[in-house]
Amino acid sequence: MNDIHFHLIKVAGYRGRNFTLKMNPRGKNSVFIMDGNTGKTTTIELLRWCFRFKQSEAANKFEHMWYKPAHILDDTKKGHQTCEITVQFTALDDANSEHFFQLRRVTEGEFDPNYPPIGDKNLSISDTFEIDHGSEVLQGDEANDYLSREFRFDECAEYFCFDGEKAREVMQLASDSGKIDLLLNLVNRRTTHPALEEYKRRLDELREKVLAEAKAKITEKALQISMGKLAGKMRALRQTEKNLEEIKRQIDWNSLAEKQLRDRLKQLDEKITSAKAENVIERNKYELEQKNIRREVAEKRLSIYKDTLKWIFADLTDAVNQIKTEVKEKGRLPEPYREELIKSCKDSGSCEICGRPLDEASRRRIESLERQVAPHEVQVFLSSDFSIPASTFNPKIENDTIKRLIEKHRELDLKINSIKLSEKDAQLVAERDSLDPQINALKEKIAGLSADADALKELIEGLRREVKELREKNAALAENKIILDKIDESIQIIDGAAEKIKVRATEIISNVISEGVSSVLGPKFSARLSQTDGLVLGEDGFYGKEKGGYSGRLILSYCFAEAMTLVDPIIVDTPVGNIGSQREKLADHLAANHKQVVLLCLPTEIINFAPFISPKSLEIKNLEQ
C-alpha cells in the first residue's frame, strides 16, 4: 500500500479529551489550531500508542511528556469509563485503487490514583480494524499485525508523529557520542531493499518456470510424485526463508527496544543516585546541627551545676541573719561589758549577783566563762548582716534555653526521619522499577526469537538438502540443472549484497538529511551522519555538535525524523516552537516534501507559518463529554 492519507482522528474520553480532527481531502494539508492543554500531545502520543503496541501489549505503555508510563483514562472522572480513538485513513494499492481503513481502540476501566503503577485500574483494551468499509474486519492483535505488515506503522510511529519532546530526544541522541550505535541501529532499521526483493522474485519465477516445464514433460507417475514433492519442499523453503527474515527483523526491533530501555535505566539510575546523594548531604547537615545542640545543652547544664550554690543560698540569707541574732541575743555568750563582773566574782570568792560563796566547781565554771569570751571579730560578725553577693544567674532563662534546644533537636529528628525521595524522584524510582520487568520481558522475547531463528535456520538447511536431493534424483530436471544451480548462486550473491550495502545506506540517509537541512537553513548548512561522530550539523563545511544553535539542531531533528519515517503523512505537534526565524522555510520544506502534512499548532504559530501549509486553519476546542 502506498500514499497513505489520514482523513480523521477522533478522540473521545482519553485523558479527558473529546474532539475530532477532520483532515482536508487527499492532496491537501491540514492545520488545526489547538490552544495549550487541549490535547495536541495527547493526540500524538495516542497515535504512537495505537500503532506501536498491539492490543495485548498496550496496557501501561502509553507515554506522555516525561511520564513513562502515563495514565490514559480521565483522571477527573469517578467510576467506570470508556475511552475511544478512531483513526481513518486511505491508501493506494499497486493498481492505484484507493482503499479505506479504520482503526478503533476502545479502552475501559476506572481511574484510581492509588492504583499502581499509574492509576489505570481494571483496564480492558480492544482493537478493531476495518478494511474497505467493513469488507474485512480484524480484531485484537490481528489489527496491529496488519498495520505493521502492510504499512510498517509500528517501526516509524515515533517519527511520523513528531513533537518537541521527540525532537529533544533526537537532539540528545545526536549529541551523545556514547549513543552512536543506537542512532545507527535506527538508521539500519530504516533501510529497505526494494531491488533485492525484485531480483529474488524474478529468480523465483524462473525456478517455477523450470519446474513447470519439467512437470509438463513428465509421463512417469513416480517422477510426477517426486516433482510434486519437490515443488512443495521449495515452497516450504521460500516460506521458511521469509519467516526467518521476519524473525530477524523482530530480533533487531526488540534488541533496539531493549537497548533503549537499558539506556533509560542507566539514565534513571544516575538521576536516582544523584537524588540520594542530595539526601545524604541534607541528612549530614541536620545531624551536624544536632551535634552542636547537644554540645550547647551540655555546656548549659555544666554552668548550672557550677552556679548551683549561688542560687541555693539565695533564699537562706534571712534565715542565717536570724540565727546570728538568736546566737547574739540568746546564745548566752558573754559580752565584753560582763568582763568586770567575772573578775569581781573571782576576786571576792562569791557570786556578785546572788552572793552565794563559790565552790570549786562554780569557780572553774566562772574561769571557763572568762575564756569563752568571743573575740572582737566574732562579735563584729554576729552584729553584721549576712549577705550573698548578687548573682547574674537566671535559672528560668537557662531552663527555657535548654528546653528550646531540646525542642529543636526533636524537630531535626523529624526532618531526618522525613528525608526521603521527593515525589518527582519517587516517580523516577517507580519508572526505574517498571523498566526491569520490561527489559527482562524483551530479553526473554529475544531469546525465544533467537531460538526460533536457529530452528528455522536448521529447517532451511534441511529443506535445501532435501530439495537438492530431489532435484538430483529427478531425471526431468537434469537438463535444467545448470539453471537451478545458478539460481541458488545468484540468491547467495543478493543476500551478500544486502549486507554490503548497510554502510552505504548510512551515507545515503546522511545525504538525504543533509539536503533537508540545506533546504530549510540555507545552502551553507549541511548535516553528516557517521559511525564516528553520530549526527552533526555543518556550517560552511565545518561540522560540530554546537553548530546551528538550538533552532538549527531542532531543524536537524526534523530532518532526521523525516528520514526515519517510512510513511507519509507527517503529523507534528507544536511545529514551530523554538524555530525562530526559520518558520517560513520550514513550512515550505514540509509542504514540498510530504504528500500530507498535519499540524497541531498553538494560536501563536499561525503567523509566517500555517498559511504556507494550508490556507485555512481549523480551530479545535476540547468538548465536554
Binding residues for other proteins, per CB under 8 A? 190-196, 199, 202-203, 206, 209-210, 213, 479-480, 482-483, 486-487, 489-490, 493-494, 496-498, 500-501, 504-505, 508-509, 511-512, 515-516, 518-519, 562-563, 565-568, 585, 588-589, 591-594, 612
Question: What's the closest the beta carbon of residue 152 comes to other proteins, in angstroms?
Answer: 11
Residue 444 or 472: which CB sits closer to other proteins? 472
Closest CA to 23 of 606, 575, 616: 616
Question: What's the closest the beta carbon of residue 504 comes to other proteins, in angstroms?
Answer: 5
Question: What's the closest the beta carbon of residue 3 comes to other proteins, in angstroms?
Answer: 11
Residue 78 or 500: which CB sits closer to other proteins? 500
Residue 378 or 498: which CB sits closer to other proteins? 498
Residue 85 or 156: which CB sits closer to other proteins? 156
Closest CA to 539 of 549, 521, 553, 525: 525
CA distance 359 to 193: 150
Question: What's the closest the beta carbon of residue 139 comes to other proteins, in angstroms?
Answer: 30
Residue 347 burial (10 A CB sphere; 0-12, 13-18, 19+) = exposed
Question: What's the closest the beta carbon of residue 94 comes to other proteins, in angstroms?
Answer: 15
Question: What's the closest the beta carbon of residue 536 comes to other proteins, in angstroms?
Answer: 19
What are the percentages of helix, strand and coil residues in the chain, rounded to 5?
60, 15, 20
Beta strand pairing status for 570-573 and 136-139?
Answer: unpaired
Question: What's the closest the beta carbon of residue 603 comes to other proteins, in angstroms?
Answer: 24
Residue 428 or 599: which CB sits closer to other proteins? 599
CA distance 287 to 280: 10
Residue 358 or 501: which CB sits closer to other proteins? 501
Cα–Cα distances in angstroms (integers) from residue 473 to residues 211, 227, 451, 464, 484, in the given order:
14, 10, 33, 14, 14
CA distance 58 to 25: 31
Who contacts 352 (Cβ-Cβ below 8 Å, separation ≥6)? 341, 344, 345
Phi-psi region of 24 (alpha: psi -120 to 50; beta: other; left: phi over 0): beta
Residue 377 or 489: which CB sits closer to other proteins? 489
DSSP 346-415: HHHTB-TTT-PBP-HHHHHHHHHHHHTPPPHHHHHHHHSPP--------HHHHHHHHHHHHHHHHHHHHH
Residue 174 or 382: which CB sits closer to other proteins? 174
Cβ atoms of residues 346 and 338 within 8 Å: no
Cβ atoms of residues 434 and 62 within 8 Å: no
Cβ atoms of residues 284 and 278 within 8 Å: no
Residue 213 or 299: which CB sits closer to other proteins? 213
Count, residues in the chain? 625
Question: What's the closest the beta carbon of residue 206 comes to other proteins, in angstroms?
Answer: 6
Residue 196 or 618: which CB sits closer to other proteins? 196
Question: What's the closest the beta carbon of residue 584 comes to other proteins, in angstroms?
Answer: 9
Residue 55 or 519: which CB sits closer to other proteins? 519
CA distance 16 to 64: 14
CB atoms inside a 10 Å sphere around CB 609 = 21
Whether the upstream peptide bond of residue 575 has omega within 30° of 0, thus cis, is no
Question: What's the closest the beta carbon of residue 164 comes to other proteins, in angstroms?
Answer: 20
Whether the upstream peptide bond of residue 25 has omega within 30° of 0, thus cis, is no
Question: What's the closest the beta carbon of residue 605 comes to other proteins, in angstroms?
Answer: 19
Cβ atoms of residues 99 and 132 within 8 Å: yes
Question: What's the closest the beta carbon of residue 581 comes to other proteins, in angstroms?
Answer: 16
Q: DSSP label at 53?
A: S
Beta-bridge mates of residue 105: 85, 127
Residue 218 or 293: which CB sits closer to other proteins? 218
Beta strand pairing status for 570-573 and 161-162?
Answer: parallel
Residue 190 or 233: which CB sits closer to other proteins? 190
CB atoms inside a 10 Å sphere around CB 139 = 11
Question: What's the closest the beta carbon of residue 249 comes to other proteins, in angstroms?
Answer: 16
Question: What's the closest the beta carbon of residue 212 comes to other proteins, in angstroms?
Answer: 10
Question: What's the closest the beta carbon of residue 226 comes to other proteins, in angstroms?
Answer: 19
Q: Which amino acid is at 527?
A: A
Question: What's the closest the beta carbon of residue 520 comes to other proteins, in angstroms?
Answer: 8
Residue 202 or 266: which CB sits closer to other proteins? 202
Three-class DSSP category at 597: strand
Host H or E run for residue 306: helix 221-306
Residue 390 or 592: which CB sits closer to other proteins? 592
Cα–Cα distances in angstroms (integers) from residue 228 to residues 114, 215, 385, 519, in the given order:
64, 8, 138, 58
Cβ atoms of residues 234 and 477 within 8 Å: no
Residue 32 or 160: which CB sits closer to other proteins? 160
